[in-house]
């Protein structure tokens, strides 16, 4: 039996980063402690507000949560911007934060599903598989992480990958995403395979959404494309690669109704 289903992609939590989402109380680690900054407290409050919004939206519906890569920050590039360098402590932080979100969002293990998509190795190495196992996420054979995830939700094909393309800037904003999903659509047409109905990525920390309509077998097919925001404010590296751009922290989610209608994504990004 099909049922309305809320899809919640959560990307780039970077748990363990000193500018990322963190519990709203001091934490003691093996080699020191961390007191959350005022910004981290604001991010955590937004995290819970997003979970409450999902809880209200998902009443009478199923819920699918997809952690779309870079669950932890790792010990990368000799960065000093870490709350703890130990992967196991970053993993524990991530799990604590995810459990708080899922509990607030009224996640029901009997009807709802949780998936993990692999992020960039410099951050996560292979730790997302371990996290997925501990979180009892949906298995992918013998592992609990997916390099590319394809879900059939009420007849709609939803594709997830961590890395895709960027949102772009200024007058060109959105062009790269639209061109990318157009190219994927055209490849499906050429190969005679079913094209996706929605493509979701993260990685760039800058959210965007755009639809593309392509012609296939005499009819038009709509493909939605979305880049997720992150849960990390700008790091020193971020100030280099995204100079004078604001951090975009939060999430976007949408519903696939039981008759296969995809709703406009709801964006909850901190101002």
In tens, the pLDDT along 182-197 reads 999 999 999 999 999 9
Mean pLDDT of 68-80: 86
* C-alpha–C-alpha distance, residues 22 and 139, integer Å: 27
Structural contact between residues 72 and 94, judged by C-beta atoms closer than 8 angstroms? yes
Which token pair is 191? 């190969």
Mean pLDDT of 208-233: 94
pLDDT at site 241? 67
pLDDT at site 167? 87
Out of 150-154, 202-206, 242-246, least confident range: 242-246
Structural contact between residues 225 and 9, judged by C-beta atoms closer than 8 angstroms? no
Q: Which domains does the chain have, with CATH numbers?
A: 5-269 (3.60.21.10)
Distances (CA, A) of 55 to 67, 71, 102, 197: 17, 22, 9, 25
pLDDT at site 40? 97
Instruction: Give me the phi and psi of 244, to 5 degrees please.
Output: 65, 20
* C-alpha–C-alpha distance, residues 213 and 63, integer Å: 27
Residues 6 or more apart whose CB falls under 8 angstroms from that of 255 comprise: 4, 5, 6, 7, 57, 61, 262, 263
pLDDT at site 217? 86
User: CA angle, 218 as apex, 212 and 219 as ends, to 5°?
Assistant: 40
Name the helix (H) or strand (E) containing 27. strand 27-29
The pLDDT tens digits of the residues spanning 202-214 come to 999 899 999 999 9
Please give the model's pTM, rounded to 2 decimal places: 0.94
């Amino acid at each position: 039996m099909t049922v309305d289903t809320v899809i919640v992609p959560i990307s780039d939590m970077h748990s363990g980063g000193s500018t990322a989402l963190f519990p709203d109380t001091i934490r003691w680690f093996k080699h020191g402690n961390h007191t959350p900054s005022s910004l981290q407290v604001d991010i955590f409050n937004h995290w819970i507000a997003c979970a409450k919004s999902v809880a209200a939206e998902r009443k009478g519906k199923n819920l699918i949560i997809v952690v779309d890569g870079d669950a932890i920050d790792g010990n990368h590039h000799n960065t000093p911007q870490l709350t703890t360098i130990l992967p196991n402590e970053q993993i524990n932080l991530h799990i604590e934060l995810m459990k708080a979100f899922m509990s607030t969002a009224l996640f029901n293990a009997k009807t709802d599903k949780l998936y993990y998509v692999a992020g960039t190795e410099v951050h996560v190495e292979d730790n997302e598989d371990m996290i997925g196992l501990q979180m009892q996420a949906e298995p992918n054979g013998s592992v609990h992480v997916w390099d590319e995830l394809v879900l059939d939700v009420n007849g709609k094909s939803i594709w997830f990958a961590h890395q895709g393309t960027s949102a772009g800037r200024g007058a060109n904003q959105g062009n790269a995403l639209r061109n990318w999903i157009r190219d994927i659509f055209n490849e499906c047409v050429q190969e005679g395979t079913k094209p996706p109905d929605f493509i979701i990525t993260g990685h760039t920390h800058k959210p965007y959404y755009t639809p593309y309509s392509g012609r296939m077998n005499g009819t038009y097919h709509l493909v939605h494309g979305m880049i997720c925001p992150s849960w990390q404010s700008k790091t020193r590296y971020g100030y280099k690669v995204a100079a004078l751009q604001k951090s975009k922290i939060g999430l976007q989610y949408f519903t696939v109704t039981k008759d296969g209608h995809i709703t406009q994504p709801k964006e909850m990004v901190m101002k």
